[in-house]
Amino acid sequence: PGRFRIAVIPGDGIGKEVAPEGVRVVQAAAHRFGIELDVEWIEWASCDWYAAHGEMMPDDWKHRLQGVDAIYFGAVGWPATVPDHVSLWGSLLKFRREFDQYINLRPVRLFEGVPSPLAGRRPGEIDYLIVRENTEGEYTSAGGILFEGTERELVVQESIYTRIGADRVLSFAFETARARARRRLTVATKSNGVAIAMPWWDRRADDVGRRYPDVAMDKQHIDILSARFVLQPDRFDVVVATNLFGDILSDLGPATTGTIGLAPSANLNPERKHPSLFEPVHGSAPDIAGLGVANPMAMIWSGAMMLDFLTHGTGAGRAAHDAILAAIESVLRDGPRTRDLGGWASTLDVGREIAERVAEPMQAPA
Ligand code: NAD
Ligand code: IPM
Ligand code: MN
């Protein structure tokens, strides 16, 4: 079914702990389904590299990564030594932009065996997909500070939206909704307060939506949408949002499923002109880094999304993806658990157990 080059970037903190478990499981699944992976470990794009070189990445980083089929990314950020905007604009945010990974897919699912902090919620009642715009919007370095250090200090931070940028993420979201059973799309907006960009975003949604009469679209202001993630999560199917709103929703959603340690993401360049990047939603978690207690499931599930995307069309990647998901589900039912899930297992214990169940799936009970 194919052979692929994967650049693994562990990054910082727990990124360095979950990445090996992700690779372990992805390799087990690839092996089982006849996919060959050439894995290359990369030590740059980390705050350790910054400490030694005064920059996050070598100058020819783009050249070095352009030929890989995918980037499998842990997490970057070590604010004790490098300011977050420096480390992230010097690595992850650069990848997203320069490789035009304009779709960020972030599934949110409540699993059997994981209690939701929302009272009474059962698996099946929280199962939606966030499609986050990933290259523009509120994330910019356009703007500046005037009269710095005086009483008149004035800060401008621009948001930038383009018609191409909005239409392509909205189209992707409509297509995605169309392919699902419920065919529902919620568009996150804030057109009552953010008076230029957000009414425009709503009009783009209406315009693009005309091509998808079979998808039920509704627009919700981000404030009440956040409340409904908590109060009525079963109402959601696909949710599309601009960059910052999508960022916030994609920590809130997973929190309602019991832990953010489970939440995966796929930063896609759907045209496949550039490598796509697969990473957990969570960060480097300095508070637990080095203890070996991080949940590797978000990294592992992201690896499943990577195999699915890579082998698009052959079936082997989909099978590998499904086998990894089944192994995660099975471990969540009766396997070792990390602390965030109320257990005492290590990152390594969980990674090994999932890899074993991927390699030799257990028989379903009769
Ligand atoms: P975080 O996601 O790193 O951590 C938030 C909380 O969740 C912490 O208490 C942490 O211990 C816990 N947590 C996160 N992942 C976990 C896991 N797999 N298992 C168990 N617990 C987990 O968010 P933060 O504290 O805001 O950020 C820390 C650093 O990570 C910062 O430098 C930030 O900029 C960076 N960050 C990077 C990424 C990325 O690389 N994609 C994403 C988010 C944050
Ligand atoms: C994420 C992260 C990043 C983002 C940060 C680290 C820049 O929070 O991937 O969700 O805001 O996109
Ligand atoms: Mn985030």
Q: What is the pLDDT along the chain (366 residues), one digit of tens a residue?
A: 699 999 999 999 999 999 999 999 999 999 999 999 999 999 999 999 999 999 999 999 999 999 999 999 999 999 999 999 999 999 999 999 999 999 999 999 999 999 999 999 999 999 999 999 999 999 999 999 999 999 999 999 999 999 999 999 999 999 999 999 999 999 999 999 999 999 999 999 999 999 999 999 999 999 999 999 999 999 999 999 999 999 999 999 999 999 999 999 999 999 999 999 999 999 999 999 999 999 999 999 999 999 999 998 678 999 999 999 999 999 999 999 999 999 999 999 999 999 999 998 766 565
Integer Cα distance of 189 and 221 in angstroms = 5
Atom of ligand 2 nearest to the CA of 88: 7
Confidence at residue 80, expressed as pLDDT on a 0 to 100 scale: 97
Integer Cα distance of 103 and 206 in angstroms = 19
Confidence at residue 51, expressed as pLDDT on a 0 to 100 scale: 97
Q: Which of 48, 87, 94, 260 to mutate to test the pocket of ligand 1 (most atoms within 8 A of CB)?
A: 260
Max distance between CA atoms of the chain, in angstroms, equals: 73
Active site residue 139: yes
92-145 per-position pLDDT tens digit: 999 999 999 999 999 999 999 999 999 999 999 999 999 999 999 999 999 999
* Distance (Å) from CA 248 to ligand 2 centroid: 9
* Distance (Å) from CA 274 to ligand 2 centroid: 20
Alpha carbon of residue 333 to chain centroid: 24
Confidence at residue 247, expressed as pLDDT on a 0 to 100 scale: 98
The three-class DSSP label of residue 39 is strand
Domain limits, CATH 3.40.718.10, in the chain: 1-101+268-366, 116-257
Active site residue 62: no
Are 294 and 338 in contact by the 8 Å Cβ rule? The answer is yes
Closest Cα to residue 335, out of 347, 321, 345?
345
Pick the residue whose CA is nearest to atom 26 on ligand 1.
Answer: 283
- Where does the chain show beta strands of DSSP type E? 2-11, 35-41, 70-75, 103-109, 127-133, 143-146, 154-157, 184-189, 216-221, 238-241, 264-268, 276-280
Active site residue 349: no
Of these residues, 247, 308, 340, 349, which one is catalytic?
247
Could you tell me the sign of the dihedral formed by the alpha carbons of 185, 188, 191, 196, in that order?
negative
Pick the residue whose CA is nearest to atom 8 on ligand 2.
Answer: 247
Are 61 and 45 in contact by the 8 Å Cβ rule? The answer is yes
Report the length, in residues, of the chain: 366
Fold type of domain 116-257: Isopropylmalate Dehydrogenase (3.40.718)
Active site residue 219: no
Confidence at residue 274, expressed as pLDDT on a 0 to 100 scale: 98
Output DSSP code: residue 261: G
β-pairing, 264-268 with 238-241?
unpaired
345 lines ligand 1 (CB under 6 A): no
Are 283 and 118 in contact by the 8 Å Cβ rule? The answer is no
Active site residue 190: yes
Helices 297-310 and 347-359 cross at an angle (nearest 10°) of 40
Q: Which of 92, 136, 265 to mutate to test the pocket of ligand 2 (most atoms within 8 A of CB)?
A: 92
Integer Cα distance of 317 and 313 in angstroms = 8
Integer Cα distance of 306 and 266 in angstroms = 7
Integer Cα distance of 7 and 65 in angstroms = 7
Q: Which of 93, 106, 139 to mutate to test the pocket of ligand 2 (most atoms within 8 A of CB)?
A: 93
Atom of ligand 1 nearest to the CA of 92: 40
340 lines ligand 1 (CB under 6 A): yes
End-to-end C-alpha distance for the chain, whole angstroms: 33
Integer Cα distance of 320 and 149 in angstroms = 56
Q: Which of 18, 93, 257, 282 to mutate to test the pocket of ligand 1 (most atoms within 8 A of CB)?
A: 282
Confidence at residue 364, expressed as pLDDT on a 0 to 100 scale: 59
Confidence at residue 17, expressed as pLDDT on a 0 to 100 scale: 98
- Residues with Cβ within 8 Å of 119's Cβ and at least 6 positions away in sequence, in order, are none
Amino acid at 333: R
Are 187 and 218 in contact by the 8 Å Cβ rule? The answer is yes
Going from the C-alpha of 256 to that of each of 63, 233, 259, the distances in angstroms are 40, 9, 7
Q: Which CATH number is associated with domain 1-101+268-366?
A: 3.40.718.10
Amino acid at 211: R
* Distance (Å) from CA 247 to ligand 2 centroid: 6
Which of the ligands is closest to the CA of residue 243? Answer: 2
Q: Output the pTM of the full model.
A: 0.97
Confidence at residue 361, expressed as pLDDT on a 0 to 100 scale: 74
- Residues with Cβ within 8 Å of 45's Cβ and at least 6 positions away in sequence, in order, are 9, 11, 56, 57, 61, 73, 76, 90, 91, 92
Going from the C-alpha of 316 to that of each of 22, 34, 272, 321, 325, the distances in angstroms are 18, 7, 19, 9, 14
160 lines ligand 2 (CB under 6 A): no
* Distance (Å) from CA 285 to ligand 1 centroid: 4
Which of the ligands is closest to the CA of residue 76? Answer: 1
Are 87 and 78 in contact by the 8 Å Cβ rule? The answer is yes
* Distance (Å) from CA 46 to ligand 3 centroid: 17
